[in-house]
A and B are shown apart, each in its own frame.
Chain A
């Protein structure tokens, strides 16, 4: 127990130390740098696995989670404690985070072309352009190779900190450190304006959520007097919070705090309407995308809101609370909305980005309707297959870049799916793993993890009668399957549409091995959560996941067991298989982006979708530009310079003119000329006159003195007479 606690404390540290080591000492040495980073991630992985194993094998683990706390501060008479805690939820999150992080670290070595020569024209701040070698142009190593590993180390530290935290404050610390890392990594190729802007956008958009979250934390801290999960999620505290009125009529403290915290998630997990940063985040190197989309950042948002579920459901007594309704609505909208956009994207990573938003919407919606276990389940499975998909797409891009370098035609965008085609033969490992990931995302029945988790969400929605959510998610699931198949078809199937695609090349083992590992999880992890009542295979494997996670919730929250129903099962089968089939049928003969079948079908709607419903433009027009103008013109130039300084200047001017008037009308004529100069002139005149007495002739002086003597004598006589 002691050892376990110690290890929990130590889990976040290796990546952090790796970060400092690389930044301070080894940044010149690529090999040492990546060794340290991967070693750090490996140590964290080992620690996480040890803790996870302990969690599995400890009896009554849910009632007695691991962890301890130390006093961080004293506020007034009360100590403020921070600590670590591993309960079932964080154990499972730690599990997938550790695995995906390690895989991404390993993958990055290959992705950044370790072992390749230095580029001839490569500059720091720009992606590598390739190097000439033996008459060929080959991939060149990333010029800021070591720096990348430092940054992802810090990123991993943030995520681990967030997961092992036993309180909202340290969770927030990890949360914000990830925000910084996303800024640094999305803007990794900071020389490009697009990357620079994307980084700024990501940071600022998530910060919108963060400040609300900060308020939520403050509010919760105020009302509960603590931020420790254990202390808040007690029956008395939750009931107290549920019954205390907040500032907003009709909303309890728990509800308002929950919504404020959820806005943090909206930012971090890119929920509607703060989703705009996530697609742009594709400007970063692909491992970063995987990091953000699967292992760390967006998962963190969902993890936090799942963690806060007891608060969100407080006062609902099984019914949906206001906060949960908000979640359900936002989640459903996001799921559908992002899925529609994904349909119209041609960039291989952008499709995945929107699919992430959409899938996160699934989780949020699931939580909103109270499907706690389903939300966690989908979070985990999604992490695996989305990491897989991103790394796979990175592998594809890498292969395409190889082709681009070969032909030397740099106008070809290696990320545009219409420039690909037929890659399955060139890159078989990538193809098969990507296929697994894609099927998992689509919810391909029975064998993929995505099916089980998505099915559970739909089943929950149906069983509890949230039909709006159910149908919205079902349509979204159909679209998911459709665009996934579209992507697979355009990328891997058919014939190569460009020369570059013909010369694409399978990527090195450092990249493909992580793909294979993740593919295993993308399939196998679904089997830990097969519902007991599932026809045919239900009950063969115990529904371990449900038991494990559901027990992690405080005992006063009750779940009703879901009765099996055919409707959701059939629905999920139909949408998954139907979507995949439609996708293949529509796109198997696609040729160019202009002839996109969907484009013909939808017409102007396609343009709307392709332009992401013009959200970026809208925000730019309504918020970003006006605020920039407001800052510069109104606040600074008008308010400060004109009004306040103007007032001060007026006062100064008034004083100045008063002074001038005093000087010119009073000081100069009256004081100077009359009193000043006048006195001087008089004195001078008098002196001129009187100085003649001062002759130096003593006898003359004496005559005057004697006159005085006479006067004295005379006066004496006069008085006595």
Chain B
């Protein structure tokens, strides 16, 4: 057991348990808090995987923005606590299906030759700068992901405008 493995197992446990907790909470604020915990676990994963940029983004965007947004939504809809049934009538079927999907995923992945691959050595320090370069800088005169970046920005902008439009209180 290397320290890294220990961290991994702890993180895995946190992710899975808090996810289950989130799903089963009656109080939506609690559920949101468990979501945050789960997301934090995922951020730890990113660190373990040496994707430090993404880990930071995970914390900033997800925990800092999305989770807060969700909590606001919970507050605004005044549905903090669900008075009636927590799950719908297909809940048991849904559980079966979810487990089936998990099994399916496992089976499908398990037959893949790279399933148990081991991480190669890599210069992960250079990865961040490589990422930045790939996003914005031309390489051999070709901006590799510039178009994708721009598209993503627009993609983000338009739904936000749309969201405002949809949610606008009509007179």
13 new A-B contacts at CB < 8 Å, known A706-B100, A717-B108: A697-B88, A699-B90, A699-B94, A703-B90, A706-B101, A709-B101, A710-B101, A713-B108, A714-B107, A716-B111, A717-B104, A717-B111, A720-B112
CA distance A721 to B107 in the complex (A): 10
Q: Which residues of A contact B90 (CB under 8 A)?
A: 699-700, 703
CB closest residue in chain A, given B93: A703
Give chain B nearest CB distance to A102 CB in angstroms.
111
In the complex, which residues 655-710 of chain A have their Cβ closer than 8 Å to any Cβ of chain B? 697, 699-700, 703, 706-707, 709-710
Asked if B97 lies at the interface with its beta carbon under 8 angstroms from chain A, I say: yes
Known: A699-B88, A699-B90, A700-B90. A716 touches B108 (CB 8 A): yes
Asked if B118 lies at the interface with its beta carbon under 8 angstroms from chain A, I say: no
In the complex, which residues 79-107 of chain B have their Cβ closer than 8 Å to any Cβ of chain A? 88, 90, 93-94, 97-98, 100-101, 103-105, 107
Interface secondary structure of B, over-half rule:
helix
Q: Which residues of B contact A703 (CB under 8 A)?
A: 90, 93-94, 97
B contact residues vs A (CB 8 Å cutoff): 88, 90, 93-94, 97-98, 100-101, 103-105, 107-108, 110-112
Q: Which residues of A contact B108 (CB under 8 A)?
A: 713-714, 716-717
Contact A717 B107 (CB under 8 A): yes
CA distance A720 to B100 in the complex (A): 19
Q: Which residues of B contact A700 (CB under 8 A)?
A: 90
| A699, A717, A720, most chain B CB atoms within 10 A | A717
Q: Can you report 5 residue pairs joining A to B where beta carbons are below 8 Å apart?
A: A703-B90, A706-B97, A706-B100, A710-B101, A720-B111
Contact A713 B104 (CB under 8 A): yes
CA distance A714 to B106 in the complex (A): 10
Q: Report, as a range, how many residues of chain A touch the other chain.
A: 10 to 19
Interface secondary structure of A, over-half rule:
helix
A contact residues vs B (CB 8 Å cutoff): 697, 699-700, 703, 706-707, 709-710, 713-714, 716-717, 720-721
CB closest residue in chain A, given B105: A713
Q: Which residues of A contact B98 (CB under 8 A)?
A: 706
Q: Which residues of A contact B88 (CB under 8 A)?
A: 697, 699
Q: Which residues of A contact B94 (CB under 8 A)?
A: 699, 703
CB closest residue in chain A, given B98: A706
CB closest residue in chain A, given B104: A713
| B98, B104, B112, most chain A CB atoms within 10 A | B104
Q: Which residues of B contact A713 (CB under 8 A)?
A: 101, 104-105, 107-108
CA distance A551 to B88 in the complex (A): 135
CA distance A200 to B123 in the complex (A): 129
Give chain B nearest CB distance to A665 CB in angstroms.
53
CA distance A703 to B101 in the complex (A): 11
CA distance A597 to B98 in the complex (A): 143
Known: A699-B88, A720-B111. A714 touches B93 (CB 8 A): no
Known: A699-B90, A700-B90. A707 touches B107 (CB 8 A): no
Give chain B nearest CB distance to A206 CB in angstroms.
103
CA distance A721 to B101 in the complex (A): 18
Contact A710 B100 (CB under 8 A): yes
Contact B111 A710 (CB under 8 A): no
CB closest residue in chain B, given A712: B104
Give chain B nearest CB distance to A302 CB in angstroms.
114
Q: Which residues of B contact A720 (CB under 8 A)?
A: 111-112
Give chain B nearest CB distance to A497 CB in angstroms.
126
CA distance A717 to B106 in the complex (A): 9
Give chain B nearest CB distance to A697 CB in angstroms.
8
Q: Which residues of A contact B107 (CB under 8 A)?
A: 713-714, 717
Question: Which listed residue (B93, B97, B110, B112) contacts A710, Cβ 8 A?
Answer: B97
CA distance A424 to B39 in the complex (A): 155
CA distance A720 to B108 in the complex (A): 9
Counting from the closest, the 5 A-B pairs by CB-CB distance are A713-B104, A717-B107, A720-B111, A713-B108, A710-B104
CA distance A700 to B98 in the complex (A): 13
| B94, B97, B112, most chain A CB atoms within 10 A | B97
Known: A703-B93, A703-B94, A703-B97. A714 touches B111 (CB 8 A): no
CB closest residue in chain B, given A700: B90
CA distance A716 to B106 in the complex (A): 11
CB closest residue in chain B, given A713: B104
CA distance A710 to B94 in the complex (A): 13
CA distance A710 to B90 in the complex (A): 17
Q: Which residues of B contact A697 (CB under 8 A)?
A: 88
CA distance A710 to B93 in the complex (A): 14
Q: Which residues of A contact B112 (CB under 8 A)?
A: 720
Q: Which residues of B contact A706 (CB under 8 A)?
A: 97-98, 100-101
CA distance A716 to B90 in the complex (A): 27
CB closest residue in chain B, given A721: B111
CB closest residue in chain B, given A718: B107
Give chain B nearest CB distance to A688 CB in angstroms.
22
Give chain B nearest CB distance to A325 CB in angstroms.
119
Q: Which residues of B contact A707 (CB under 8 A)?
A: 97, 100
CB closest residue in chain B, given A707: B97
CA distance A720 to B111 in the complex (A): 7
Q: Which residues of B contact A717 (CB under 8 A)?
A: 104, 107-108, 110-111
CA distance A700 to B91 in the complex (A): 10
CA distance A707 to B97 in the complex (A): 7
Question: Which listed residue (B97, B104, B110) contacts A714, Cβ 8 A?
Answer: B104
CA distance A69 to B104 in the complex (A): 114
CA distance A707 to B98 in the complex (A): 9
Q: Which residues of A contact B93 (CB under 8 A)?
A: 703
CA distance A538 to B82 in the complex (A): 158
Give chain A nearest CB distance to B5 CB in angstroms.
28
CB closest residue in chain B, given A717: B107
